[in-house]
Structure 1
């Protein structure tokens, strides 16, 4: 039988990429970490890590076992939560969200949830998707309001337990320009028309996304500023630093002197949805929350 502690140690090794850093996170010695991994390999009859001067990487067998470790951790967390609910008679629900989506969609949805289930104790934690989705897998949060651009969900897709993704809405990106800009009167813009413009952007992921689309449009964007806040990015546009690419739900509150112009298809967009562990969707409070988020996303002002 596989030892749960050895799985926990392997998971830490995978997360940190070395025995020393895993040992520090677990408050063990590197020797103890190495012994746990070696014992796991003996019990499996397979190597789970490959060691090199550049660190430690997982073997195919190791990836399988880390997936199992995620499942075990999530189930233990869920079981502990259920026991707490039995003891206290109160249901705990932890929601992770990214900032702009939480500001638009969560308040109304949480109000509906608490009206329907006033005994629920809610916790809200702010994370970007690459952080929140692994937390859902680990059982540290019950549900994540998240987004992705092109391609799969972020946060180590494909590991077990599998996430179930419920799409809520598409969030197209707009070009934000000063009202006096030569292109501000257009109904839509192609990115190729913006070659040579200086840019200020609201997050690193938007910069990476802009660069991919700019390559298709035949230019290399000149990025003069990157922030972690879309409102700040729009403020810099208003100050004359350049133009920006902003998701539609991050265009409020309005800043005087700016114009947001849709991008001509194929337009870049964020895809917003809810991530849960599939078998937990029957949880009454969780089902209520997801339904309320769908309602909020369907409101015309939500995009």
Structure 2
């Protein structure tokens, strides 16, 4: 096995022409130079220098090794510089999974400092939390922006394998057609909407609406289900039904909508998931910090930063 330190000693011997001159350059003793050269020759089974009364000369194998070591040091220097830039977040690739509303309100502001770096490659994919968790497990993403309901504590099933960083809590508002009799209220009880038809989300979002309504004493009558909060709100504005919409997803620019606070104030919570026990790229750690800063600075109704 070639030893890089011994090869560097040989390179200095070849460059300076003597053990003593090489020792001065390397700041070791001539005896240490001789020992390193001897050890290199024993490992190779070949002489790398000729020792004579007038000093040393390098053999053909020694010259070949010295030349290769010079090239190798240049390559290693380039690798070291690249690794230093990687550690500083100046180069590298980062794969991010996010649900759509975080991709609208949180992620773009947090990414600005990263997208300005020409050597940084970002891979952002839309993914609901139930899809993000297996994506992280398979190594398909470095981090995932996720949501959950009811309490600020994340689901227990995440705790064993994932590191969770809380970002914010957001109230769920009742989205009503602007002409709805309750549209001008400051707050309503969820039970006030028991007789309405509902525009609901799918999967976890739809399930949570069901649970909130059942806790308020009624099963929701579903008019339709949609996977996009923007589309849901256009349906509400058109009079198809009412909906529960988290603060991040509210789209007041859609005409014909009203948003009313709902007691007992249902919430959705947003955070970042990363695998435990896995080395995290510096870019990922930087993005988590930027997301926390962005969450702390969000000035939207119903948003509570959870930055620790």
TM range, normalised to the smaller chain? 0.5 to 0.7
- How far 1:281 sits from its partner (Å)? 6.9
Alpha-carbon separation, structure 2, partners of 1:282 and 1:213: 37
Moved more, 121-130 or 142-151: 142-151
Look up the match of 2:168.
169
Partner SS state of residue 189, structure 1: strand
What is the CA deviation profile of residues 1-28 of structure 1, one whole-angstrom value per residue up to 9, with x for unaligned ones?
xxxxxxxxxxxxxxxxxxxxxxxxxxxx
Look up the match of 2:131.
131
Alpha-carbon separation, structure 1, partners of 2:208 and 2:96: 27
Partner SS state of residue 295, structure 1: helix
Tell me, yes or no, if the aligned pair for 2:187 and 2:261 is still in contact at 8 Å: yes
**Residues 1:111 and 2:112 are matched in the alignment:** yes
What is the CA deviation profile of residues 114-173 of structure 1, one whole-angstrom value per residue up to 9, with x for unaligned ones?
34x5432111111111111122122221000111113775696466xx100000001211
Look up the match of 1:147.
147
Look up the match of 2:96.
95
Look up the match of 1:221.
220
TM-score by length of 2: 0.64
Write out aligned runs for 1:224-303 (5 A): 224-252=223-251, 254-265=253-264, 267-280=265-278, 283-302=281-300, 303=303
Look up the match of 1:191.
190
What is the CA deviation profile of residues 195-247 of structure 1, one whole-angstrom value per residue up to 9, with x for unaligned ones?
11111123342321122122221111111111111111111111111111111
Tell me, yes or no, if the aligned pair for 1:204 and 1:226 is still in contact at 8 Å: no
Partner SS state of residue 188, structure 2: coil
Alpha-carbon separation, structure 1, partners of 2:285 and 2:279: 6
Alpha-carbon separation, structure 2, partners of 1:156 and 1:254: 38
List gaps (5 residues or longer) in structure 2: 1-81, 304-308
Tell me, yes or no, if the aligned pair for 2:238 and 2:256 is still in contact at 8 Å: no
CA gap 1:124/1:134 in 2 versus in 1, 3 angstroms:
same
List gaps (5 residues or longer) in structure 1: 1-84
Alpha-carbon separation, structure 2, partners of 1:91 and 1:99: 24
Look up the match of 1:122.
122
Alpha-carbon separation, structure 2, partners of 1:280 and 1:107: 26
- How far 1:282 sits from its partner (Å)? 5.8
Partner SS state of residue 263, structure 1: strand
CA gap 1:125/1:300 in 2 versus in 1, 3 angstroms:
closer
Alpha-carbon separation, structure 2, partners of 1:282 and 1:95: 12
Partner SS state of residue 261, structure 1: strand
- How far 1:272 sits from its partner (Å)? 0.3
- How far 1:98 sits from its partner (Å)? 0.6
